[in-house]
Amino acid sequence: MKELTCIVLGGGYAGIHAVKEIQDTIRDKTEGIRLRLVLIDKHPYHTRKVLLFKPAAKDQDITIPLLKLFPSGVEIVQGQVTRIESGEKRLLLQDTAGNENSMKYDILVVAAGSTVRQIEPNQGGVALTGLEAARKIHQIWRSNLMKTTQIRDASERARLMTIAVAGAGISGIETAAELAYFVREDAKRLGLNPDLVNIYLCNHNKRLFQEGPVKVGLKLERSLRALGVTVCHESKVLHEQKGVLTLSTGRTLPVGLCVWTLGLLPNPMLAKMGLRVNSEGYVLVDTSYRVEGAPGVYSIGDCAHIVDSASGRVDGNTCKEAGAQAARLGRIVAADLAGRPAPSHKSFMDFFCFGLGPEQGMAWTRQWGVDFVFTGKLGLGIRKYTWDLASLLK
Ligand SMILES: Cc1cc2nc3c(=O)[nH]c(=O)nc-3n(C[C@H](O)[C@H](O)[C@H](O)COP(=O)(O)OP(=O)(O)OC[C@H]3O[C@@H](n4cnc5c(N)ncnc54)[C@H](O)[C@@H]3O)c2cc1C
């Protein structure tokens, strides 16, 4: 029996699915191999990153202990990987006490993810970059509402009850909708008029949902409007200073808080880890996710530059793509171990969904050239299913 060590770096969406798929595909079905599976993450938990808007709107835990996801059969190691020495098939990691350790691997899956694009220090507001930022956003708007109960000046009250969300991708849309619901709920509880709560969603583009059809973008906008969100198109937020938001159009808006929901960037540590990355910092892989110049190393998820060789389409930074890549990776690793031809990457189908507050949602897919749109409770049901599926809760 051959003993192999497979390390998965990163307990995000790509990493946890990679562990599950490798466990299912190889350990139980590849004869003559005993696989030791190790999952390394900086944190002892998996963060449900796509739900970051939830703790920004309501006190809510969106983490799941990795030991709960993998109670047996997987070694969970908490530490920060600092370097991959692919020649030696070894990685270096810093444990929680700051000690440097090294670990040998036969197979390594790099799923170190992405970070949220930062704002400049003078741009004001808070970027929804992680759990701490989400809690800060929650604390600021709640404290603004509390202040409003003590203030008589109408314009200052209006300002404190106004929030701008800068960036109208899926994250911005979901954040604006969730805030619209919970800020109004809290305003009511404090005896304030909930109709005075203003949520602006500032969109740099001409319409919402650039990835899909115009009519779905318009439908989303109507739903947001019904929830009390004002969408401003072609309005890039430049900065928020002393409670005044300045837009690229020249318009200014008094706000109590500006929440930035900007795009994602590959994990900046990747460039220093010793793997080959492209000019944007994504790990370079072949069509079967094998990292160039590093035998036994694969990379999937937000950190990898993954291209469908048939269509030339580059995978986006989304959970659904990470999950599909991980499912294929299990079969790829099994094929590579057995010396068989491995499957190649294929783009995921057109499918997007949105949570629109805690009571409704929307899902869109295009199949056989036909658009299917699901709204309301059904839309939310689909959305919740995808959230749970992505975190191995289904
Ligand atoms: C606010 C927000 C909203 C989003 N909304 C959506 C959405 O609605 N739908 C959607 O599909 N996608 C959404 N995304 C994108 C989605 O979160 C990513 O595509 C997904 O997280 C990718 O998974 P991943 O496993 O590749 O990376 P990540 O989830 O980033 O996981 C990477 C993991 O690696 C660990 N790690 C990183 N570096 C190291 C290191 N050096 N050592 C040890 N561990 C390390 C991290 O701790 C983390 O657990 C959103 C992202 C954000 C930030």
Instruction: Give the residue, by CA position, lying nearest to ligand 1 atom 10.
Output: 318
- The predicted structure's pLDDT at residue 28: 63
- The predicted structure's pLDDT at residue 29: 66
Q: Give yes or no for residue 199 having a pLDDT over 90.
A: yes
- The predicted structure's pLDDT at residue 195: 96
Name the least confident of 7-16, 22-31, 37-46, 282-291: 22-31
- The predicted structure's pLDDT at residue 394: 87
What residues does ligand 1 touch, defined as CB less than 6 Å away?
9-15, 40-43, 47, 49-50, 52, 80-81, 111-114, 116, 128, 170-171, 267, 269, 301-302, 317-320, 322
Mean local confidence (pLDDT), 119-134: 96
Ligand 1: which of 41, 51, 80 to mutate, judged by most atoms within 8 Å of the beta carbon? 41
Q: For residues 291 and 91, give the distance between their C-alpha atoms in angstroms, rounded to a whole number.
A: 15
Q: Coil, strand, or helix at residue 51?
A: helix
Instruction: Give the residue, by CA position, lying nearest to ligand 1 atom 34.
Output: 10
Domain 2-115+265-348: CATH superfamily, name plus number: FAD/NAD(P)-binding domain (3.50.50.60)
Name the least confident of 41-45, 90-94, 316-320: 316-320
pLDDT in tens, 155-173: 999 999 999 999 999 999 9
pLDDT in tens, 223-276: 999 999 999 999 999 999 999 999 999 999 999 999 999 989 989 999 899 999
Domain 121-262: CATH superfamily, name plus number: FAD/NAD(P)-binding domain (3.50.50.60)
Domain boundaries of the chain, sorted by first residue? 2-115+265-348, 121-262, 350-394
Q: For residues 287 and 32, give the distance between their C-alpha atoms in angstroms, rounded to a whole number.
A: 27
Instruction: Give the residue, by CA position, lying nearest to ligand 1 atom 48.
Output: 12
Q: Give yes or no for residue 31 having a pLDDT over 80.
A: no
pLDDT in tens, 128-142: 999 999 999 999 999
320 Cα nearest atom in ligand 1: 11
49 Cα nearest atom in ligand 1: 17
Q: For residues 385 and 377, give the distance between their C-alpha atoms in angstroms, rounded to a whole number.
A: 12
Q: How confident is the model at residue 47 (pLDDT cuts 50, 70, 90)?
A: very high
Token pair of 259 as six digits: 């929440």
Q: For residues 323 and 149, give the distance between their C-alpha atoms in angstroms, rounded to a whole number.
A: 46
Domains 2-115+265-348 and 121-262 share a fold: yes
Instruction: Give the residue, by CA position, lying nearest to ligand 1 atom 39.
Output: 112
Residue 120: Cβ-neighbour burial (10 angstroms; 0-12, 13-18, 19+): exposed
Contact 63, 45 (CB under 8 A): yes
Q: Give yes or no for residue 39 having a pLDDT over 70.
A: yes
Distances (CA, A) of 172 to 93, 103, 164, 202: 35, 40, 10, 9
